[in-house]
Amino acid sequence: MFDFMDEMPDDASYCATGPYIPEAIDCMRCGLCVSHCPTYQLFQAEVESPRSRVRTLDKIINGLSPISDSELKHLNNCTQCRRCETVCPSKMAYGQLFDRAQAIQQAANPKQRPTGLAKLGYKFIEHKNALYLAAIALRCYQTSGIQYLLRKSRLLTLLNLEKAEALLPKVAIHQLAKHYPTSKHPRGKVGLFTGCISNHFDRETLLASIKLLNYLGFDVFIPKQQGCCGAIHQHQGYPDTANKLAAHNIGAFNGLDLVATIYVASGCGLMLHEYDPQGFDHPLYDITSFLNLHWPADITLKSPAAKYRKFAVHEPCSQQVQKPDKAGQHPIYALLGKIPGITVAPLPDNQVCCGAGGIHILSHPAIAEPLRDKKLAHFKQTSAELLVTTNIGCALHLNAGPALHKVVHPVVLLAEALG
């Protein structure tokens, strides 16, 4: 059907001469991406399709005719899931084009820069100490009874903070140690990337990862200097800040003689993999890939309690955009398969975004919530007892949905099965 595809490299993103990044103008409007786009599925409108957005991106990047408010609105409705990239025969680097366009837009329209709560949010994730102080304040809010009283009153609704507040998980404020040594036969030193949000909002996953890595014989190092991966800044049009954060993280992990740096949130992982390829002096791994690769044959795990034995897996877009393992499956299935007495199956609509999309949950609830509710309806149909995912953004978003048991990271289940 597409003769030119014969000339495409097997690897989706590289040619012999380097990365192959088609310009927006290379979109041939074939429409193969359309049915994979969550906003097109939601609105059933061409203006909400990737190929329509690619045309807008082309106008912005190449300074063509002015962009209408309507075009801008439909562009900004994009959840940045990048599912369109995974099916595009032109190997359209949609994410990179989107980031370039955002940077141009932000530079040209400084008045559109975030203000108020959004601006505060950017500063918190950028500056670790400020985020730590915010975490302490949120922990006091949760433990002092103020949260209970506010949730009972209508104040959160009146302040338009009800939805943002519902995303708040239990906040951890104690500092992690710099080094967690293994008591097993040593197999090497690994770095653990804790990110900004995961460090305070997903401590359970980080502690489970440390426990498993130590059990497998790895010394775990958590450099204090590390910080936010920069993904949100990159995707919102602040490449300078994103580059600064990237350089900072590379400096924090390099020189520690690590066999790997490991991340637990696939959203951060995608950004880390897109840093300068010459950056890290050791490989990067998703925790599920690393554990799967180094899992010894002689570990016996326990079955979980009888009421939690059927798991459904939500595969985050950030994980789908990265390559699966050689068998074509994400390692999460092989890893969970080590727990005896459980069944694990993908959610039926895993090819569609749940709507979380970085700050989309907060900036576009009218899109994020229906997408989440569809996802949860699929979960209910599976009759699974637990929903499992590897990205904190998706987990927070899905947890805030109606009547769902907590969404967990697979390593938490694995660490529990270890006893």
Task: Give the interface with ligand SF4 as residue ranges (CB under 6 A).
Answer: 27-33, 36-39, 50-51, 53-54, 78-84, 88, 90, 92, 94, 353
Least distance to ligand SF4 from the beta carbon of 4, Å? 11
Q: Which of 87, 207 has the CB closer to ligand SF4? A: 87
> What is the rounded distance in angstroms from the CA atom of residue 111 to the CA atom of residue 66?
17
Question: In this structure, are strands 310-313 and 260-263 parallel, antiparallel, or unpaired?
Answer: unpaired
> What is the rounded distance in angstroms from the CA atom of residue 256 to the CA atom of residue 167?
35
> What is the rounded distance in angstroms from the CA atom of residue 339 to the CA atom of residue 318?
25
Q: Which of 353, 414 has the CB closer to ligand SF4? A: 353
Least distance to ligand SF4 from the beta carbon of 26, Å? 7
Q: Which of 78, 212 has the CB closer to ligand SF4? A: 78
Least distance to ligand SF4 from the beta carbon of 38, Å? 5
Closest CA to 125 of 238, 262, 12, 253: 238
Least distance to ligand SF4 from the beta carbon of 388, Å? 22
Least distance to ligand SF4 from the beta carbon of 51, Å? 4
- By the 8 A CB rule, do 69 and 337 touch? no
How many helices and strands in the chain, by DSSP H and E? 22, 11
Question: In this structure, are strands 14-15 and 18-19 parallel, antiparallel, or unpaired?
Answer: antiparallel
Q: Which of 191, 358 has the CB closer to ligand SF4? A: 358
> What is the rounded distance in angstroms from the CA atom of residue 350 to the CA atom of residue 251?
36
> What is the rounded distance in angstroms from the CA atom of residue 179 to the CA atom of residue 337?
30
Least distance to ligand SF4 from the beta carbon of 30, Å? 4
Question: Residue 314 is which amino acid?
Answer: H
Q: Which of 62, 144 has the CB closer to ligand SF4? A: 62
Q: Which of 82, 397 has the CB closer to ligand SF4? A: 82
> What is the rounded distance in angstroms from the CA atom of residue 216 to the CA atom of residue 219?
9
